Amino acid sequence: MVEERLTWAEQEGSGLDLSEVEDIVKTAAQDVGGLSISSDKDAGYIRIFIGPPSGDPESVSGDPQVRIWTSGTEAFFIDVPGGFGYQEFDDVPEGQVATLHLLVTLASRYLHGHFEEKEEQRSFGRRRRYLEISSRNEVYRLYQR
């Protein structure tokens, strides 16, 4: 007998279905300038890879693929090349939709080079690098992991 594994969202009845996550990101990516999208689903998670529109001369060089991933529950993550990342948490579907739109906007800003790489002094003299991206009159820090 094959045991079906359910995600936390399916067990609790809250959160977004992975197909909904994919549709929301695809729509948001088109709204911010036609970003390219690919995705895969595995073990209750979805990973969505976002790249610049093909032939976009203003996009960052190298391998500019950004990854958004989630299980559709409370935690939503974005990773950009260089090991920088950011996470948002929301436990109601309406907030989760807004969170996904924000992450796509951050991906677009990154892919078009609208960020600054900075460094901060940490305890014991350690330094930590981060990318600073402004969007919607807010400043977001994507810390290097």
Which tens digit of pLDDT belongs to each residue from 21-38?
A: 999 999 999 999 889 999
1 in a domain, yes or no? no
Residue 1: pLDDT band (50, 70, 90) is: very low
Contact 77, 71 (CB under 8 A): no
Contact 111, 50 (CB under 8 A): yes
DSSP label at 123? G
Specify burial of residue 98 (Cβ count, 10 A radius: 0-12, 13-18, 19+). Answer: middle
pTM of the model: 0.85
Residue 30 sits at φ, ψ, to 5 deg, of -70, -40
Q: Give me the residues paired with residue 41 across strands.
A: 46
Is 92 domain-assigned?
A: yes
Structure tokens at 111: 């892919």
Segment 124-144 mean pLDDT? 93
Within a domain: 133: yes
**Domain containing 125: what range?**
8-144
In-domain check, residue 70: yes
Residue range 41-84, pLDDT digits in tens:
998 999 999 998 876 656 666 667 899 999 988 899 999 999 99
